[in-house]
Amino acid sequence: MVNQLVNNLVETLKNIPPEAAIFLISMIPILELRGGLIAAALLKVPITTAIPICLVGNLIPVPFILWFITPIFSWLKKTKAFRPMVEKLEKKSLDKSDRIRKYEFWGLFLFVGIPLPGTGAWTGSLIASLLDIRFRKAFPAVCLGLLLATTIMCIFTYLIPALV
């Protein structure tokens, strides 16, 4: 699914520089850094260029999510139109929060760092915010988790294909 989304986005963004495309893809929820690195490999962007672009693209939304998503959700839940969507997002995120709730920093680090569907910086930041994990604990955990995810994804998108 992620590969198909990335392929579609790469095709859609073909008229902009590859670096801008992978930056934008890295900012999109669900795809994030994983999608950005897959796109970078497809677009033949060197790994040394792709890593910082994807990391920055994925990190930009994190502080905003950690600081502002709870008040935004509170405000949206007061509206009839958005309440069901917000409650569904909160429920879906909190269903994945057991390890994070129990281990906080390390749980958040692993949640963001192991690139599985439904995990990543966006969801990890949302869960941290909903669980009231302080910014000074959540942000470093997300950053380190992204470094782990970067390492894992670089192995799958650059190293293994180069060896095959």
**Two structure tokens written together for 82:** 């958005």
- The average pLDDT across 68-97 equals 90
- The average pLDDT across 113-142 equals 93
Last residue of a domain, one of 59, 92, 107: 59
Looking from the CA of 74 toward its CB, the CA atoms found within 13 Å total 7
**Two structure tokens written together for 79:** 């509206």
80 and 8 in a single domain? The answer is: no
Query: CA 120, CA 106: separation in Å to the nearest integer?
Result: 14
67 and 142 in a single domain? The answer is: yes
* Per-residue confidence (pLDDT) for residue 85, from 0 to 100: 93
Q: Is residue 12 part of a domain?
A: yes
pLDDT at 12 over 70: yes
* Per-residue confidence (pLDDT) for residue 1, from 0 to 100: 62
* Per-residue confidence (pLDDT) for residue 126, from 0 to 100: 93
**49 or 164: whose pLDDT is higher?**
49
42 and 102 in a single domain? The answer is: no
Query: CA 40, CA 72: separation in Å to the nearest integer?
Result: 33
Return the H-helix or E-strand segment holding 69: helix 61-76
Portion of the chain with pLDDT greater than 90, in percent: 74
**142 or 92: whose pLDDT is higher?**
142
65 and 145 in a single domain? The answer is: yes
User: Cβ(58)–Cβ(27) under 8 Å?
Assistant: yes
- The average pLDDT across 90-115 equals 89
Q: Is residue 142 part of a domain?
A: yes
Amino acid, single-letter form, for residue 16: I
pLDDT at 75 over 90: yes
User: Cβ(141)–Cβ(112) under 8 Å?
Assistant: yes
- The whole-model pTM stands at 0.88
Q: How many domains does the chain have?
A: 2
* Per-residue confidence (pLDDT) for residue 111, from 0 to 100: 94
* Per-residue confidence (pLDDT) for residue 124, from 0 to 100: 93
Q: Tell me what the pLDDT averaged over the chain comes to.
A: 91
Query: CA 10, CA 4: separation in Å to the nearest integer?
Result: 10
User: Cβ(44)–Cβ(158) under 8 Å?
Assistant: no
